[in-house]
Amino acid sequence: MTDSTKQYAVQKSDAEWKAQLSPAEFHVLRKAGTERPFVGEYTDTKTVGVYKCRACDAELFRSETKFDSHCGWPSFYAPLAEDRVEYIEDSTLGMKRVEVRCANCGSHLGHVFEGEGYGTPTDQRYCINSISLTLAPA
């Protein structure tokens, strides 16, 4: 799933990731899977804090940028900083999308969409799998 030519600060073999992550976490984070909608632990949470990469603990999003999109996954309108995530063109499933990965370890987080009409400052929706994140309450 990750770009084999890219050097990430955190690098592990599949065996090491499998030892660290649950099978469901490995499927989403390392193989670009998607959790089912409306089942993730952070879909509707309002807890204030910082959302981190479940694989490497890098800080990715703040609760202040989380909004209710009613899409079934946690939605944010911006990452904590642009250098925290990377963007990969994704043409799987017969559509053009932009995949969002953790810039620290290359783990799959979800996708970002633009121009959907949400009343957010960026007009973007970072649609992120709950299973890709952990929340550190403020």
Which residues have a catalytic role annotated?
127
Q: Which residues pair with 130 in a beta bridge?
A: none
Tell me the three state secondary structure of residue 138: coil
Segment holding 135, helix H or strand E? strand 133-137
Which letter does DSSP use for residue 56 in this model? Answer: T
Whole-angstrom Cα distance, residue 28 to residue 36?
11
